[in-house]
Structure 1
């Protein structure tokens, strides 16, 4: 079936933050994050 896919907001819960590297602006997360490489991810408490 033709058409655009993937233009929706997805919430993933219960992922573990393994390490924070502020000098490189990185969060190391255990689990899969949906989305393409280079896309924006919002992390909330």
Structure 2
């Protein structure tokens, strides 16, 4: 994905999370994706959780 700042952003990368982190993020964010460890923010971008 091309960024407005003139460089390429590969997007979110896979992260390892503990079971507690995953449970928390799943409860907190409906858009949480376990594989990437991210959720879709109100700004339309994916963010890491926690």
Q: Give the TM-score taking structure 1 as reference length.
A: 0.25
More strand by share: 1
Q: Which structure would you say has the larger Rg?
A: 1
More helix by share: 2
- Structure with higher RCO (Cα < 8 A, 6+ apart): 2
